[in-house]
Structure 1
Amino acid sequence: MPGYEVTEPRLRCVLPFEAAPAEVRLLRRAAARQLSQWGASVAVDEAELLITELATNVVKHVGEGASATLILEWRGERLRLEVHDKSEILPSSKTAGQDDVCGRGLHLLASLAVDWGVVLTAAGKAVWCEISAGPGSACQRIERALAVLDSYQDVGRGSALHRGLYDEGLAESAVALIADLLHWSAARGHDPDDILDRAQMHYEAEADAA
């Protein structure tokens, strides 16, 4: 048919929410249920982490009680997350100091995504990110982890790298990164032990399926 373009199938879900800590928790759970229904359970943990960060940034930088919307879109092997709000102020990803466990925020978590960005809309702005949800996600995660750990050394951690001990330096960075993520989770009301248990279960399930 002239002018007809075939596009790959996609699944889409729109979840309006109010910018408030209690709403962020409900939003995370609703998104997890939706992804499980789609059969994208492999992406649930990463999606919950990124949704929490994006929604919390609306609370902090747009204002508690502001209206916002989360859009989930699963296309091919990628899951796209978009958070829309009515503010035109664009977020910035800044590198925090070595001892600043609260300042990495969007920069740290966006580094865990395949890609991310922010665009102005007719009503305000949308912050989006994409994560891998396909069968090749394990290899992509390893590559992404290596890139994150490499960049993490740039903020001053892991002196072993400067002695030429690359693998040892990356191991130190991994410990520092995990510790900072646990600080981040505790600051947002999560139980760090629960986060570790869930991550371990997620890793073991993927390792058994490989």
Structure 2
Amino acid sequence: MTGYEVTAPRLRCVLPFEAEPAEVPLLRKAAAAQLDQWGMREAAEEAELLVTELATNVIKHVGEGTSATLILELQRERLRVEVHDKSREIPSLRTTDCDEECGRGLHLLAALAVDWGTVLSAAGKSVWCEVSLDQRSNCRRVERAVGALEKYRADYPATAVDGRSKAVLLEQSAVELIADLLHWTAARGQDPDDVLDRAQTHYEFETAAA
């Protein structure tokens, strides 16, 4: 990363970076540290996932070494994550997938984020995602998980099929989704076991705090 700026009192953090694989973990750590400073530690896991996918998308589809900028901004009950680059090519769910074995790319993030989109500018474009900071996190997480699982297996309606209940179908989808996420993690050079441990720790922390 080539620079760092925090603009007050808007709670807006600007992080210029070079689109290189080695920069991605640095961006994740910087995003987590900034959220911790803002007292938003509970949003760090989601933010790191969004940052990873958006930065990796620049590397893959704009080019390694491209100058880009990560922006974190608190907007009422949402955290907005933006990545700006100099390309005017609009990403889509289809073009941002790495392949069938690697995972679902932005398909997963589209389910995890409250909303996402692309904005064109004279200098290029920005791709943004928003994470809800609503304190009623347990209900929100369960509802979001059900929505993600139903979208994940859109070709298998989440209703009784061949004697299988909706609950059974969602459980099967959850196992396959977790497996795909582990493939996605490994493809980006991370340790799947470490990610599972972090997810378990995060879950236990939230459960104890509830």
Fold match (TM-score > 0.5): yes
| Contact 2:96–2:106 (CA under 8 A) maintained in structure 1 | no
User: Is 1:169 aligned to 2:169, yes or no?
Assistant: yes
The match for 2:147 is 147
Residues 118-158 of structure 1 deviation map (CA, whole Å, 9 limit, x = unaligned): 11012100000001123122211111111111111215599
Identify if the C-alpha distance between structure 1 residues 70 and 162 changes in structure 2 by more than 3 Å, giving closer, same or farther: farther
Counterpart-to-counterpart distance in 1, 2:195 and 2:21: 18
The match for 1:206 is 206
| Paired amino acid for 1:145 | A
Residues 27-50 of structure 1 deviation map (CA, whole Å, 9 limit, x = unaligned): 111111101110110010111111
| Paired amino acid for 1:135 | Q
Please tell me the root mean square deviation across aligned C-alpha atoms, in Å. Answer: 2.3
Counterpart-to-counterpart distance in 2, 1:180 and 1:167: 20
| Contact 1:112–1:148 (CA under 8 A) maintained in structure 2 | yes
TM alignment of 1:166-205, pairs within 5 A? 166-205=166-205
TM alignment of 1:30-179, pairs within 5 A? 30-94=30-94, 100-102=100-102, 104-155=104-155, 161-179=161-179
| Paired amino acid for 2:34 | Q
Counterpart-to-counterpart distance in 2, 1:118 and 1:161: 37
Identify if the C-alpha distance between structure 1 residues 22 and 154 changes in structure 2 by more than 3 Å, giving closer, same or farther: same
Q: State the secondary structure of the residue aligned to 1:90.
A: coil
Counterpart-to-counterpart distance in 2, 1:157 and 1:52: 30
| Contact 2:85–2:126 (CA under 8 A) maintained in structure 1 | yes
Runs (4+) of structure 1 moved beyond 3 Å?
A: 155-164
| Paired amino acid for 1:57 | N
| Contact 2:69–2:84 (CA under 8 A) maintained in structure 1 | yes
More helix by share: 1
Counterpart-to-counterpart distance in 1, 2:192 and 2:117: 28
Structure 1 gaps, min length 5: 1-8
Counterpart-to-counterpart distance in 1, 2:161 and 2:143: 19
The match for 2:25 is 25
Identify if the C-alpha distance between structure 1 residues 177 and 103 changes in structure 2 by more than 3 Å, giving closer, same or farther: closer
Q: State the secondary structure of the residue aligned to 1:21.
A: coil
- Tell me the TM-score normalised to structure 2 length: 0.89
Q: Shift in Å at residue 102 of structure 1? A: 2.3
Q: Shift in Å at residue 103 of structure 1? A: 5.4
Name the count of aligned residue pairs. 201
| Paired amino acid for 1:174 | A
Counterpart-to-counterpart distance in 1, 2:152 and 2:96: 11
